Amino acid sequence: MTYDLSTKRVWLAGGQHLISNSETPVLSDLWGWDGVRWTQVSANTGSAMITHKLYVDGAGGLFAALSRGFVARWDGQRWNALSPNTPSRRESAAGAYDAQRQQFVTFGGLVGGRAYDTTGETWAFDGTRWSRIATTGPPASLGGAMAYDTRRHVLVLVGGLDINGRKLPDMWEWTGTNWTRVSVAGPSPRFGAGIAYDQKRGETILFGGVNAARD
């Protein structure tokens, strides 16, 4: 889910719909919220998606960064792949669009077949190609929550699940060149939370998440 400032619309694409205990289809629809109601833009976008990140660039283009390391752009009817599979396949990575530096940034994610086989790499997509921009910073994890602070021009990363299956209480900020751990008292350790930046109030809002992982 992402907010488009130019159209004042929230976009929602794909996801997983639980029908029964044995049937969990991945969806390929696209919806828009205008502040009053949801409108289905497409019932079938041509690309079923899960564990992806939606973002809008400065020109109002709608993009989906998919779990296999490529980015697709919505052309009004379908998703079109823009980039090769440069980063290794990963799932449940944190990600957000950095408007100051005009690039989509992603951190961490599940990269192996074993539980908690995670990475601590940071990658960026500039509209044409992927680049690995950091290998140090937050501990390797999956399921972290990331949002862009438009006032301070930093990316905020909260929580995650580390390689030992422990919930992280960490809060980090990416300045465009390096990660810095922010030492503040805050929410209990969690992963898979929702996060967004409230421009009107100048605050990063965190909601929900899972806090029942193995200690």
pLDDT for 150: 93
Nearest to residue 103, comparing CAs of 157, 21, 176? Answer: 176
Do 15 and 107 lie in one domain? The reply is no
Do 118 and 156 lie in one domain? The reply is yes
pLDDT for 213: 47
pLDDT, tens digit, 9 for 90 and up, residues 85-112: 778 888 889 999 999 999 999 999 988 7
Number of domains in the chain: 2
CATH classification of the domain holding 187: 2.120.10.80
Do 92 and 198 lie in one domain? The reply is yes
Q: Are 72 and 79 in contact (CB under 8 A)?
A: yes
pLDDT, tens digit, 9 for 90 and up, residues 166-202: 999 889 999 999 999 997 667 889 889 899 988 888 9
pLDDT, tens digit, 9 for 90 and up, residues 135-161: 999 999 999 999 999 999 999 999 999
Mean pLDDT of the 53-74 span:
86
pLDDT, tens digit, 9 for 90 and up, residues 18-49: 665 556 688 899 999 999 999 999 999 988 88
pLDDT for 215: 45
Do 112 and 184 lie in one domain? The reply is yes
pLDDT for 174: 97
Q: Are 158 and 141 in contact (CB under 8 A)?
A: no
Between CA 95 and CA 53, with CA 167 as vertex, the angle to 5 degrees is 15
According to DSSP, residue 20 is labeled S
Q: Using the 3D structure, point to which of 68, 84, 100 is the last residue of a domain.
A: 84
Residue 188 corresponds to which tokens in the numbers above?
A: 């209990």
DSSP state string for 149-190: ETTTTEEEEE--EETTSPBP--EEEE-SS-EEE-----SPS-
Do 107 and 79 lie in one domain? The reply is no
Do 156 and 113 lie in one domain? The reply is yes
pLDDT for 3: 84
pLDDT for 23: 63
Name residues whose C-beta falls within 8 Å of residue 214's C-beta, 6 or more positions apart in sequence.
165, 166
Q: Using the 3D structure, point to which of 24, 55, 84 is the last residue of a domain.
A: 84
* Spatial distance between the Cα atoms of 81 and 78, rounded to a whole number of angstroms: 10
Q: pTM score, two decimals?
A: 0.87
